Structure 1
Amino acid sequence: MTAMNTVPASLLAAVALAAALPAHANDEAAFAACLQELRGEARTRGLSAATFDAHAAPLAPDMAVVGFLDAQPEFTTAIWDYLAGLVDDERVADGQAMLREWADTLAAVQARYDVDPATVVAVWGVESNYGRNFGRRPLLQSLATLSCFGRRQAFFRDEMFATLKIIEEGHVDPAHLTGSWAGAFGHTQFMPTTYQRLAVDFDGDGRRDLVGSVPDALASTANFLVKAGWQPNQPWGIEARLPAGFDASQAGRRAKRSLAQWQAAGLTRADGGALPGGDTQAGLILPAGPNGPAFLTLRNFDALFSYNAAESYALAIAHLADRLRGAPAGFRTPWPTDDPGLSRADRREVQRLLIERGHDIGEVDGLLGTNTRRAIAEVQRQFGWEPDGRAGQRLLQRLRQPD
C-alpha cells in the first residue's frame, strides 16, 4: 500500500502550476490544488493513497454541476408539470409489470421490513424509471467538482470520500458508478453516505450492490424507509377539502394537528366525507396554494420526504404508489391552471412535432432539455405567445394544428 504522504508527480506538477497562476487561475488549476487538499484529508477518512490516486487524482472538473445546485426541478418546476411527467400512465404500467416480475423479492422484502411492495416500487420508478435511468455523470467527477467549487463543499466532500470507500471495499464496479449531478446512484438513487448507513446485501453475495442487484436496491430502499419512521399498514395521507375562508397560514408539513382538530377546523375528505378523527397527527400541505389540491400528510409522507427533502417529490412517490394499487389518475381537486402538464408520451410528441417544423433538438426522449426549450421558445414567438420555453397542453394542441 502506498503511503498517503507520497504524492504522485503529476499531481505535484498540477499544484505547482496552480501556484504560479494569478488569482483568476483557470478551473483546472484550482481543481488540482483542491485535489491535493482532498488527498491529505482522505488519510483521516481511512482511505488508502492507492485508492485516491487511482480514482480521484486523474479527475478533471465538470463545472456544469455547480450550476445545478440552485436549479433542482423539485423546487423550480410547477407542481402540475412535475407530477405529469413523473406519474403518468406509462410509469404506472411499467410499475405494475415490475410488481409482477419481482413479486417474490418484494414479498421477501416486505416480510423483513414491513414496507409494502407498491411503495418500494414507486420509489424505484421515480428515482430511476425502474433501472432505466441511473444518470450519466461519473459520480466521482461530479462529487469532486462540488467538493471544490460552489456552496455546500463540506457536504459533497463527505459524499466523495464515501464513494471512494465503496470502491475500495469492492461493492460496486467503479465503471458503473454513474448517477445524478449531486452524486445519487443505483436503482433507487442512494447518496453515498446513505449507502454506507443503510444499504443491505439482500441477495447474499457479500456485496451491497445498488447498481447490479435489484434485490439489494429494493431491500435497501425499504430499510431506508423503516429507519425514517415508516409505519406499516398506514396511509401516507388524505386528500382534503378546505372550508370556505380557510386561513392558509395554518398549513405546513411540520405544523401538526390531530385529525380530530383538522376536522373541527372544517376540513373534510376531498369527496366531502368526514375525516376519520382521532389523535393521529397530520400536517397540511398545499402544493399549489389554497385553490389547488390539499393533503393532510401523515408519518409515512414524512418518511418519503426524507428520501429527497422535497414535498413535490414525496407527493410523486405517494401518488404513484396509490396508482400502482389501482387508484385513479389525478386528484379530486384539479390543479389551478388552464394549461396542464404533459406526460412523457406527450413530451415526446412535442419533440417530434418540433423536428417536423425543422428544429434540431437532438434525440426524441421526452426530456425537455436546453435544445427543446429553445425550440419551444422560438415557436412560441411565432405564435405570438410569451417565449418562456414551457411545454404544456396548450402548446401541444397548437403544434398539432397545421400552420
Structure 2
Amino acid sequence: MKKLLSVVLGATIASSVWANEQSFEQYVDGLKQEAREHGISEQVISAAFSDVTYKPRAVKADRNQPEKKLTLDEYIPRAVPDRKVKQAKELYEKHYETLSRIGDEYGVQPRFIVALWGVESNFGRFTGNYNVIDALSTMAYDGRREAFFRKEAMAALQILEEGHIPVEDFKGSWAGAMGQCQFMPSSFLAFAADGNGDGKKDIWQTEADVFASAANYLSESGWGDKYTWGRQVKLPQGFDTSIQGRSEEKGKYLQEWSRLGVTRYDGRPLPKLDEDIKAWLIAPDDANGRVYLVYNNYNVLMKWNRSYYFALAVSHLADRIVL
C-alpha cells in the first residue's frame, strides 16, 4: 500500500508540473502583466514577447542527469585537458595588459579570470543559442523552480529596458545563463561591469567587459588576491574525515591542520605563512579520492557555481596557467 501511495503521489506531482492549469500563452500574459508592474515599458514587453516560444528541449535539459557520476580523477582531465590549458595560456598572454589592469582594480588575480572564462564558455565559444526570454518563460512555466525563473525573467526584461543588448541578440543557455561569463540575468544586474570605458556592459562580445564582470562578481563575493584557492593534500592513516566540510565551524588555521598530520600532496609540510589563514578540508568523492584544503577564495568560487567539481576545475586551470 505504501509503495502504491508513493507511486500515486509521484504521478500527481508530475501531473502538476507537466499539465499546468493554463496554457503557455496564458502564462506569458501573466509574465507581461508582472513586467508592467515592475515598470517595464510596453515597447520592451512587446519586442521581448513578440515571438516567444515554449522550448521543450530546455525542460528536457533541466531534467536530464548524467547516468554515471565521474570521480575527480576522471573529471579533472576532461574539464581541464591539455589543449584548454594551452589556449588559456595563450589568451592570458594576449590579454595580459587588460587582465592586469582589471585584476588590480578589483583585487582578483588574472589567472582566475581566464580560468572562469575557459570553464564557463570555453573562452566565449559556447554561450548558448536560446532566446533568453524563451528559455526563462519556458522554465518558469514548467513549474519546478517557478519563483526562481520568474524572477530571472523580470531581470532579463530589465536588461532589455536598460538597453544593454538588442532583443534579437539576447541569447543564452537553456537556463537563461548569458554571455561569455554565463551570468544569470540577476547576476548581470548585480555584477556586470564596463571593462573598457565605453559606457556599456557587454558580456556577449566585449572581452574587457567579460573580464571586469567576472572580477567584479568575485570581488563583491569576498575574493582576496593575497592568497590562492587551496591545494590537494595528503591525510595521515586513520585520519578522522568527519571533520571535513565547508561549514564555518569546520574551518581551521593551516598550522592546526599541520598538527593534525595533514601535508601537501607530495608529503612536504603545509606552508607557514606570515599571517596564518583558515582552511577547510574537502573530499568531494570520499576519503579514498582526492582531498583538498581550500581557502576562502574557493568558497567564493562555490558562490558562482555550487559544484565542488566546477570550482576545482577552475582552480586547477588557474594553477596550470602560471606553471
**TM-score after normalising by structure 2:** 0.87
Aligned to 2:100: 107
Q: Report the Cα offset of residue 42 of structure 1.
A: 0.8
User: Which structure 1 residue ranges, 4+ long, deviate > 4 Å from structure 2?
Assistant: 23-29, 70-73
Matched, 1:259 2:254: yes
**Alignment partners' CA distance in 1, 2:230 and 2:44:** 46
Give the number of aligned pairs.
303
Greater RCO structure (CA 8 Å; 6+ sep): 2
CA deviations over 1:126-173 (Å, ceiling 9, x no partner): 011111111122211111111111311111111111111111221123
Specify which of 297, 301, 305 is matched with residue 298 of structure 2.
Answer: 301
Question: What is aligned with 2:145?
Answer: 152
Cα distance between partner residues in 1 of 2:65 and 2:119:
15
| Secondary structure in 2 matching 1:284 | strand
Q: Is the counterpart of residue 56 in structure 1 residue 66 in structure 2?
A: no
Distance 2:65 2:279 in 1: 27
The question of whether the paired residues in 1 share the 8 Å contact of 2:106 and 2:215 is answered with yes
Alignment partner of 1:322: what SS? helix
The one-letter amino acid paired with 2:229 is W
Partner of 2:322: 325
Is the 1:35–1:57 contact (alpha carbons within 8 Å) kept by the matching residues of 2? no
% identity of equivalent residues: 37
The question of whether the paired residues in 2 share the 8 Å contact of 1:210 and 1:217 is answered with yes
Change (3 A) 1:228 1:169: same
Describe the SS at the equivalent of 2:251: strand
1:286 deviates by: 0.9
Residue aligning to 2:270 = 275
Pairwise mapping of residues 167-182 of structure 1 onto structure 2 (< 5 A)? 167-182=160-175
Q: Matches of 2:132 and 2:88 in 1, distance apart?
A: 27
Aligned to 2:111: 118
User: What secondary structure sits across from 2:252 in the alignment?
Assistant: strand
After superposition, where does 1:337-356 map in structure 2 within 5 Å?
A: none
Name 1:212's counterpart in structure 2.
205
* Residue 314 in structure 1 maps to residue 311 in structure 2: yes
Give the AA of the match of 2:174.
W
Name the residue aligned to 1:223: 216
Structure 2 vs 1, CA of residues 231 and 185 (structure 1 numbering), >3 Å: closer, same or farther?
same
**Structure 1 pair 46/201, CA: closer, same or farther in 2 (3 Å)?**
same
Cα pair 1:28 1:60 within 8 Å, conserved: no
Q: Say if 1:84 and 1:237 are closer, same or farther in 2 by CA, change over 3 A.
A: same
Secondary structure at 1:252 match in 2: coil
Q: Structure 1 pair 131/35, CA: closer, same or farther in 2 (3 Å)?
A: same
Residues 159, 83 of structure 1: alpha-carbon distance in 2 compared, 3 angstrom cutoff: same
Q: Cα–Cα, structure 1 residues 24 and 220, in superposed 2: closer, same or farther, change >3 Å?
A: closer
